[in-house]
A and B are shown apart, each in its own frame.
Chain A
Amino acid sequence: MLRLKDLVLGRDGAAFDTKTGRTYRLNPSGQMTLRLLQEGKEAADVVRELAAHYAQHAAVVAVGTEAFLGQLGRYLP
């Protein structure tokens, strides 16, 4: 279970982890992904919304989203 609630996303794209005190810089698609996850969206919904927003093929978005979720898992144990 990711500690998504511990990440505070700033307007500058920096995500601050209130538990560890670490700050991560997210690119725009990462910011959107984090916002959607914090709203409670499932990964499939995130992929669908990102694909629509960036006019990108869903399969391509799915690969990037999966990688991003993997990073979140490593950084938010």
Chain B
Amino acid sequence: MSALSGRKPWSRWTVAVTGINARPENPGPGCAVARCLSEASDFGGRIVGLGYETLDAGLYHPEDTDSGHLLPYPAAGTDALMERLDEILHEERIDAIIPSLDAELPNFIALQPALARRGVRMLLPGRPELRSRDKDRLPALCARARVATPRVRRISDPRFFERCTAEEEGGWRYPLVVKGVFYDAHVVHDAAEAAYRFGQIARTWGYPVLVQAHVAGEEVNLTALGDGTGALIGPVMMRKQALTDKGKAWAGVAIEDGDLLAAGEALMQALRWNGPLELEMLRDGAGTLHLIEINPRFPAWIYLSHGVGRNLPAALLALMHGVAGRDLPLAAPRPGVTFIRHARELIVRMEDIVAVSMNGSTLQRGTR
């Protein structure tokens, strides 16, 4: 019998959340996911923060997490992750994990069967679905979904930028966007700037580096859940109103955009995605929406979903427990609801920092 057959209600689960760094200019989504759960009226379980660095704020946040543990970096591979998760599971039971960083998805997908045997649920896409939303594969996916997307190319030689405007090299036109496979994107206006950003991204994130045609326009985003059937569940749409230096939203407003919704439905149908995702799209001057990225996780602005009555992290747990998407208690869209992100200090006792540094886990705290 599967360890997942227990009927403990999802509202009483212990849920582990990753991506709990909270750097103001580019926070991971994990703290917002944890906050959604801690404020969900029907959730009374425990929340465990899984971080990568001693200073990840979500390890210590008394209002959103009950305990915290460090994980090995994704590059360490699946064996190291499984070994560490087994150590954590020896300390406390975990009923579900919500991975919240792009780079860790392949490891968690590979470990899904092993974790299921240990009674740990996840709702994740398969490897093929994850690969088909890779940035260099978006044109193929978008052709199937009949959604516009800028052309993209993998490059490993920065001399590409000196000759890319020639017809035989594709006739690219500046400005272009230089991107890492997982993170980072810079708009560049000439070959020298492009080569500089290429080197920066390659040094930080490795190869390949991608170049994408630049679309001038206004960014709109959609986050939702998938259950593998092609249904778009609980979409929440948002327009960024103010950006950090890294282009991340620090203020945004909920919108109800029929074009964005239609694009989301088409892409979800093409992908048959399982789990949370975020679409990043740009509307050009003619009103056409272009898909820029699909993130395989909740976005850092997911707390807005709680604000508009569609608490998607809580809904994700219900889906994991077998509740059908159509039966989720999701409110009607509430355009106009706005979020403003702000940074504030968290005071952490020395013994808590020492415990994480020395043992990789926080001291036991009282429940939230």
Contact = CB atoms under 8 A, between A and B. Distances in A.
Do the two chains belong together in a single complex? yes
Interface of A: 6, 8, 16, 18-21, 77
B336 A18 contact: yes
B256 A19 contact: yes
Most chain B CB within 10 A, of A6, A18, A19, A21, is at: A21
B287 A18 contact: no
Contacts of A8: 335-336
B254 interface: yes
| Size category, B interface | 10 to 19
Contacts of A16: 335-336
B255 A21 contact: yes
Contacts of B335: 8, 16, 18, 21
B128 interface: no
19 contacts: A6-B256, A8-B335, A16-B336, A18-B255, A18-B256, A18-B257, A18-B335, A19-B255, A19-B257, A19-B258, A20-B239, A20-B255, A20-B257, A21-B238, A21-B241, A21-B252, A21-B254, A21-B255, A21-B335
Interface of A is mostly: loop
Contacts of A20: 218, 239, 255, 257
What 9 pairs between A and B have smallest CB-CB spacing?
A: A21-B253, A18-B335, A21-B239, A21-B255, A18-B256, A19-B257, A16-B336, A77-B287, A19-B255
Contacts of B241: 21
A47 B255 CA distance: 32
Nearest to B252: A21
Nearest to A19: B257
B258 to A, nearest CB: 7
A18 B254 CA distance: 8
Nearest to B254: A21
A69 to B, nearest CB: 19
Most chain A CB within 10 A, of B252, B287, B336, is at: B336
A18 B258 CA distance: 10
Given A18-B256, A20-B239, 7 more contacts: A8-B335, A16-B336, A18-B335, A20-B218, A21-B239, A21-B335, A21-B336
A25 to B, nearest CB: 15
Nearest to B333: A18
Nearest to A3: B258
Contacts of B336: 8, 16, 18, 21
Contacts of B252: 21
Contacts of A18: 255-257, 335-336
A6 to B, nearest CB: 8
Contacts of A21: 238-239, 241, 252-255, 335-336
Interface string B243-273: 0000000001111111000000000000000
Contacts of A6: 256
A17 to B, nearest CB: 8
A76 to B, nearest CB: 11
Nearest to A10: B336
Interface in B190-219: 218
B221 to A, nearest CB: 11
A74 to B, nearest CB: 12
